[in-house]
Amino acid sequence: MSPGTDARSGQPVQIQTSPLTGVSYTWRALRHHNFRLFFFGQSTSLIGTWMTRLATAWLVYRLTHSALLLGVVSFSGQIVSFLLGPFAAVWVERLERRRLLVATQAAAALQSLALAALTLAHVITLGEIIALMMFQGLINAFDMPGRQSFLVQMVEDRGDLANAIAINSSMVNGARLIGPAIGGLIIAGFGEGWCFLVDGVSYFAVIVSLLAMRLPKLSGRGQPGRSLVEELREGWDYVRGFRPIRTVLLILALTCLMGWPYSVLLPVFAGQVLHGGAHTLGWLTAASGVGAFSSALALAMRKSIAGLTRTLLAAIALLGVGLILFGLSHVLWLSLALMVMVGFGLIQAAAVCNTIIQSLVPDDKRARVMGYYTMAFFGAAPFGSLMAGALAQHIGAPHTVMLTGTFCLAGAGWFAVQLPKIRPAMRAAYREKELASQRASEALSRSAAGTTPSGAALSARRISTSR
């Protein structure tokens, strides 16, 4: 057993150790039993998820040969998450997280299996793809804030929370590296339907890992007697009124609006710019995954959250430069190298935003604030995808990507101006959370010793008198 600080109460806890306790500092959050289960289950499922993303994009492009419709399909799935994100997050506050995640994973499995059945039967249409993408968007509206706020329950020691977020990002982007490479080979050999089938089956790995966790019985955190609208307003007032959270969410939204849509246009680059096929798309996506995975590992190796705002600024600038150069490239090896750069910058920015928000937000507002994170992450992207698809129809995919990269650089400039204004508020918030944790630890220590503050003072006076 090893000591730590409980992520919910701020009190010291004893953490169950395992053979992984001696793991390197980079992977320290894996010493927590529940997070370790989640890591292995989710890693399996995410490989299937990235296979499905690749297969969906290629299927739409094969059926339509339209950059605009690629944007429309992406928009249809993500707009639902954008519209429902804050409302879903309030419900997440009221629900038991594990049950919620089991339900969302089961629903996602059904969505992928439906895609597989229709595609393998050779009867799938664009309308059915859009409808199933909208259903996935509905699932994500609940799953994202639920999963992000569930990290606190899986990681007992608050000191390991930032590392858990980085490992979670490594998990997503490691799968982003493996999934598209496998998916490209499967599509080339057997067709898109088999990617959907593998994805549908892979969700059961997450469900099994969730059911195997040993968690304290916690009820939803919704406040009795308060309406959904009141809780929604409280979350909005907090996000709007606390400048660091507001600024980070705004730069995340801009980054996703302008930085993410390149992925929607990758089938166009693979087919028209680089004159390849599904395997070329797989390599481009995998190269982006290499950069993203490297980015997540770099975050996991950090020993503190100090300097994260500077890291965020550099990541957004790197993303902008990478997109501009990618738009200029017509050579496969150079495009692959630039995809590594773009993937690194994009995921570094998104993961750092997540870490900053999770380290600042109070536990009683965590799911609601992560709902706005979902809104920025999944919400800005659909508008960017729709915009990128429409622009690519008129000015071409390369010029579209160069334009979005320019906006990312402008966003980095805006964030640089905001940094001196948000740092004092961030320091004050961190000091307040540290003091609250210390007070909780002292209270628990006194309780364990069988004394209260007044009792301890009385004992001290008696000792003094006896002397």
With beta carbons less than 8 A apart as the criterion, state whether 361 and 348 touch.
no
Chain centroid to CA 352: how far? 10
Tell me which amino acid residue 257 is: L
With beta carbons less than 8 A apart as the criterion, state whether 234 and 415 touch.
no
Mean pLDDT, all residues of the chain: 79
| CA gap 283, 178 in Å, rounded | 10
Predicted confidence at residue 127, as pLDDT, reads: 92
What is the chain's length?
Answer: 467
Tens-digit pLDDT profile for residues 38-97: 888 888 888 888 899 889 988 998 888 887 888 788 788 778 877 777 777 777 777 788
Residue 350 contacts by C-beta under 8 Å, 6 or more apart in sequence?
169, 252, 255, 256, 377
Tens-digit pLDDT profile for residues 177-214: 788 778 888 988 898 999 999 999 999 999 999 998 88
The torsion angle over the Cα atoms of residues 32, 299, 141 and 194, rounded to 10 degrees, is -90
Tens-digit pLDDT profile for residues 293-344: 788 778 777 776 778 889 999 999 999 999 999 999 888 899 999 999 999 9
Closest C-alpha among 298, 315, 357, 11 to residue 163: 298
More confident residue, 415 or 9: 415
b/e per residue 230-259 (b: at least 16 CB within 10 A)? ebbebbeebbeebebbbbbbbbbbbbbbbb
More confident residue, 163 or 122: 122
Tell me which amino acid residue 406 is: T
For the chain, domains (ranges, CATH) are 24-214+229-447 (1.20.1250.20)
CA distances from 179 to 172, 184, 266, 390, 416 (A): 10, 9, 16, 28, 35
Judged by DSSP in three states, 448 sits in helix
Predicted confidence at residue 412, as pLDDT, reads: 94
DSSP states along 176-242: HHHHHHHHHHHHHHT-HHHHHHHHHHHHHHHHHHHHT---------PPTT--HHHHHHHHHHHHHH-
Tens-digit pLDDT profile for residues 383-412: 887 788 888 888 988 999 999 999 999 999
Rg (the chain; Cα; Å): 23
Residue 112 contacts by C-beta under 8 Å, 6 or more apart in sequence?
48, 52, 196, 197, 199, 200, 203
Closest C-alpha among 391, 303, 383, 456 to residue 74: 383
The torsion angle over the Cα atoms of residues 275, 278, 283 and 284, rounded to 10 degrees, is 60
User: pTM to 2 decimals?
Assistant: 0.67
With beta carbons less than 8 A apart as the criterion, state whether 140 and 81 touch.
yes
